[in-house]
Structure 1
Amino acid sequence: MSAGSENFAAALSVEVRKFLASRVVRTGTVLIVLGITVLTVSMSAAAEAGNERVVAQLGGLADEEGWTRLSGVAAQITGAAGLLGFGVVLAWAVGREFAEGTVSGLFALPVSRRTVLAAKLTAFAAWSAAVAVALVTVLAVAGLAAGNGTPEAEELAGLARVFALVVFSGLLAVPVAWAATLGRGLLPGIAAAIGTVAVAQVMVVAGTGAWFPVAAPAMWALEPATVSRAQLALVPLVPLVSGLLAMRAWSRLQLDR
């Protein structure tokens, strides 16, 4: 194993331990998994009961039933809440180094700062995938408990799209790491997450959401036919470009600014 690989493995081990021990991460996990599930089940039940406000908010989903409505409502909520939740956790993972003053200690480590950030992003990606598994599992249990029966192939596809949407939401939160680095703290990262969600909503209302990588996954999860493969293929560019920019910024960090 090369020295670079050993350094990355060591940094990743540290960052994983930080994630496992963090109250912020645990709270974020609970809020994303249970929060989205509770909202999904509540809104589905309200629509079933004929609540006019909820029916108006759900639009066409209010006319669906069972698993189709459950996965659709979950996708609708996750489109905004997922990105915001992941963004807050990533803002903590990166911004805390500046807020707590621990970033200065990184200059004394044998591991490069670029490698440290790569380890943070890797640990964050692994956590995002775990959250996706947990959310879909809890949603499936909730659907069975609600009496929706065993999901068929098309209904399983709807749950699979929710899983993919959660993973996409984690990836699309990566620009928060760059914002937290440039702003030297948690708040710039959180502001970037909120701003991104707001812009995505505007793009959807304007009718150009399918070409906006942050909005495309949620639109695809709700109605796959409205987003082409080419439009969905733009999504990975967001974490790739922003991740590289963030690592470049970390490699150029200076103690005096």
Structure 2
Amino acid sequence: MRPLTTAVAVELSKALASRVLRTTTVLLVAGVAILSSALVGAATAGNAQVLAQLGPLGARDGWALLTGVAAQITAAGGLLAFGVALSWNVGREFADGTVVGLFALPVPRSHIAVAKLVVHVLWTVAVAAALTATLAALGLALDLGPLDGPVLGQLGRLLALGLLTGVLAVPAAWAATLGRGLLPGVAATIGLIVAAQVAVVAAPDRAGWFPLAAPALWALRLGEVAPHQLALVALVPLAFGALTALAWDRLRLDR
């Protein structure tokens, strides 16, 4: 385990010094908060166009409306942000040419790939916590009411949605490895978002069985996604994390 621990420590230090991750964190957290407050304000004022776009969420008010809107934005925008960040973290090794030096290290390349995924999960936890705390502060600032049991439950679902959305971006790491760069990972992330949207539109009654769509449905539509359906989400990061580690282990410089 020592090589893996060393790899995680190195990747974590690189992440903490990264302007890309800091900027992505700020843009995601601030973006969701600003968009959520704007949409909540417009819906509260009775803006017909906004209410039509919100659909069933338009019937909510107070904390339920704020957390619902934030969940809707996080499900799509969060996946894009997490996927782009992970694609950059993996793809930059190829774009900058630093992958050549990794072959000379005593740490197995598969351990380096796993370390990148571990750091991504840690960053996801930090971002999800920051987003939830920001939304809680925003709700208090908007005087939506006290942080009672039901509200804490709504914020807890938002926190879980952020965590699940972050780990669903793991396929981007595999795509960035196979494509030897950032863009294949970004393309894979966009594909994930499109696939989730298509599943919800094409088969709304069975979309809970689709891991890419289940977290958002669980956060937005209580009771429509069972725990065993939500548990299937774990298969995505586990499967694609293993594929990423295998791809790094078999990595060759000539192809």
TM-score by length of 2: 0.97
Residues 97-129 of structure 1 deviation map (CA, whole Å, 9 limit, x = unaligned) = 011111111000000000001111111100100
Distance in 2 between the 1:10 and 1:131 partners?
24
Distance in 1 between the 2:125 and 2:26 partners?
14
Whether the 8 Å contact between 1:178 and 1:245 is mirrored in structure 2 is: yes
Q: How does 1:8-87 map to 2 (within 5 A)?
A: 8-87=4-83
Distance in 2 between the 1:78 and 1:53 partners?
21
Within the candidate set 228, 238, 253, 1:240 is matched to 238
Distance in 2 between the 1:192 and 1:61 partners?
29
Distance in 2 between the 1:170 and 1:64 partners?
27
Q: How does 1:145-164 map to 2 (within 5 A)?
A: 145-164=141-160
Does structure 1 residue 205 correspond to structure 2 residue 206? no
Tell me the equivalent position of 1:132.
128
Tell me the equivalent position of 1:255.
253
Residues 192-234 of structure 1 deviation map (CA, whole Å, 9 limit, x = unaligned) = 0011101100100112321110110000000121111221111
Amino acid at match of 2:97: G
Tell me the equivalent position of 2:213.
215
Whether the 8 Å contact between 1:219 and 1:227 is mirrored in structure 2 is: yes
Distance in 1 between the 2:207 and 2:33 partners?
25
Could you say what secondary structure the match of 1:27 adopts? helix
Aligned-residue offset at 1:34: 0.8
Aligned-residue offset at 1:152: 2.0
Distance in 2 between the 1:122 and 1:106 partners?
18
Amino acid at match of 1:256: D
Within the candidate set 219, 222, 244, 1:224 is matched to 222
Residues 1-49 of structure 1 deviation map (CA, whole Å, 9 limit, x = unaligned) = xxxx221121111111111111110111011111111111110001011
Aligned-residue offset at 1:53: 1.3
Does structure 1 residue 192 correspond to structure 2 residue 183? no
Distance in 2 between the 1:192 and 1:239 partners?
14
Amino acid at match of 2:208: A
Aligned-residue offset at 1:85: 0.5
Residues 139-170 of structure 1 deviation map (CA, whole Å, 9 limit, x = unaligned) = 00000000112122112111100000000011
Distance in 2 between the 1:19 and 1:32 partners?
17
User: Please, which runs of 5 or more residues in structure 1 have no aligned partner?
Assistant: none
Distance in 2 between the 1:209 and 1:179 partners?
24
Amino acid at match of 1:216: A
Tell me the equivalent position of 1:112.
108
Distance in 1 between the 2:35 and 2:210 partners?
26
Q: How does 1:83-98 map to 2 (within 5 A)?
A: 83-98=79-94
User: Please, which runs of 5 or more residues in structure 2 have no aligned partner?
Assistant: none
* Percent of aligned pairs with the same amino acid: 56
Residues 59-103 of structure 1 deviation map (CA, whole Å, 9 limit, x = unaligned) = 121121111111111111111011110000000010000111111
Amino acid at match of 1:211: W
Distance in 2 between the 1:197 and 1:144 partners?
31
TM-score by length of 1: 0.97
Distance in 2 between the 1:165 and 1:157 partners?
12
